[in-house]
Structure 1
């Protein structure tokens, strides 16, 4: 196996001697632009910075500073390639779009599943785990995790809108009005630009499950085989609005384990410090020195979890959450 580094993103992947570079990148979950896959369209073009590669069209060896098509190239050494179209996690610049609302449906007593279509969807790039804002006139932006993977044609959101949550109710009213809505995306650095090289621990509270769905849907399109454990914490059984989907992943995807945590199952104060969820995660038996954690929920839950895991031995850099960006501790 050879190691390939993509510049300037810094993303890396491994490639077998008989595997083309584009296929290997796709297996690692790296979104290299491509169309024809036979070297004609030149969309997957990269410049060779380090190493040697074989052009499978003419069997010629390519060396430093030559241009190659990743779909028609094999690695002869460890390589460094320059390809500006591949973005590192969290570096896609947000843009504003007019989105068409395809569907809004209730999937629980207070959660709606929303499907959006964006113009020129193929030109929109985001990473699994990122989020968007819905921008209504004369209102502050409302932020929601994208629940779909980057390769899906539409954008899926899970919006919690209880009767007393005024801003969320306004968003649902706008989405069901029949008019297009203004969205801005992508946002967020707690995301995956490629499949990680170690086990993953996913921790969600409430509709934080949406971000985890995006990550799982994405990883299932890659060759990722490390263990993935999902802890989903809710106050009541009825709040676990897509439990059947998580159970389906548990059944059908061998690396995946689903571990529901429900406040109703224990006589404790769920709203206190999310201790029940944190206790369950700590008892998971993970090797905290060699795991990557993604957490989505309230700042209280996220910081309580982070402090507990860092104390247990998790490197702080291996803990990823959007909370760390939008609600930093003073």
Structure 2
């Protein structure tokens, strides 16, 4: 049995199988619903069911609270329809411009840039290319049907792809990366995925907000905008627990020194005396609020830990006048997050 899904306000329609999620069906049909983790953790795909009914696969309660569900809200990455539906969602133009591919890649370099972060570079086959938007991610296809997602940290120029990978003790994939992975290893992936990329229909100044390796897609965005000669104003707030977590601080300072439209604010929350840190401290999104108490004319692109992303959106909208629909995010959910 199949059901018809109608998206408002666009009027776009697609069919969804009875055991298929709304998001999966939309992606198959080329309809650009927003999404991030695809696992019910980040809430990027949240929308409203106007008519019809759905049930949800397991998901994190913070991504869809009981109150939101009672009001008709839904996580489309987890929602299974039981009738024809009319849903309300903010579609993302350009999200289906590039085909999702499955392809092999060869590890061409592994560079340790912090005690718990490496940059791995992937070389694609000579006859293959991966078209993507800066900010999107790929999923590695691992043994046992497991998958792990990482954002491209390089601008989309058809060259090698770099990823920033943080060591998660006991992690199925990161333990391999930090112990046995070597150059010339072959990894298979699927991509590009995700709707975290710059909206080209605006010239509003951008706040780029990152924590930890959430810097990776932000780096790709900055490099891409530089390549195309964009003059949009950008300010990057990058937060870490200690200075070593800002593992490409020198690169960011170089951008700020050379680009009139780019500013950089590093923020450290738990510096130790031996770090000799003299910069900004505290939560990274609080630094944004202190510097920019009125965000009504801005766009925010946030990437990092779910707690940072969620807190930033709530506070920016409630206290800094940021329009709710001008906050774009990619929450880096780990397997530990998904298991909760």
Conserved 8 A contact 1:174-1:181: no
Matched, 1:316 2:324: yes
How far does the alpha carbon of each residue in 1:98-120 deviate from its partner, in whole angstroms, 9 at most, with x for none?
00111111111111111111125
Q: Which residue of 2 aligns with 1:181?
A: 187
- Larger-gyration structure (1/2): 1
Q: Which residue of 1 aligns with 2:215?
A: 209
**CA–CA distance in structure 2, aligned partners of residues 249 and 207 of structure 1:** 18
Conserved 8 A contact 1:90-1:188: no
Matched, 1:290 2:294: no
In structure 1, the gaps of 5 or more residues are: 1-86, 268-273
Q: Which residue of 1 aligns with 2:252?
A: 246
How far does the alpha carbon of each residue in 1:41-91 deviate from its partner, in whole angstroms, 9 at most, with x for none?
xxxxxxxxxxxxxxxxxxxxxxxxxxxxxxxxxxxxxxxxxxxxxx81355
How far does the alpha carbon of each residue in 1:122-145 deviate from its partner, in whole angstroms, 9 at most, with x for none?
742100000111122125211111
Conserved 8 A contact 1:90-1:187: no
User: What is the SS of the residue equivalent to 1:249?
Assistant: helix
In structure 2, the gaps of 5 or more residues are: 1-92, 274-280
User: What is the SS of the residue equivalent to 2:162?
Assistant: strand
Matched, 1:96 2:102: yes
Q: TM-score, normalised by structure 2?
A: 0.63
**How has the CA–CA distance of structure 1 residues 324 and 135 changed in structure 2, closer, same or farther, with 3 Å as cutoff?**
closer
Q: What is the CA-CA distance between 1:322 and the residue it aligns to?
A: 2.3
Q: TM-score, normalised by structure 1?
A: 0.65
Conserved 8 A contact 2:268-2:282: no
**CA–CA distance in structure 2, aligned partners of residues 235 and 288 of structure 1:** 25
Q: What is the CA-CA distance between 1:183 and the residue it aligns to?
A: 1.0
Alignment root-mean-square deviation, CA: 2.8
**CA–CA distance in structure 1, aligned partners of residues 99 and 214 of structure 2:** 23
Conserved 8 A contact 1:133-1:143: yes
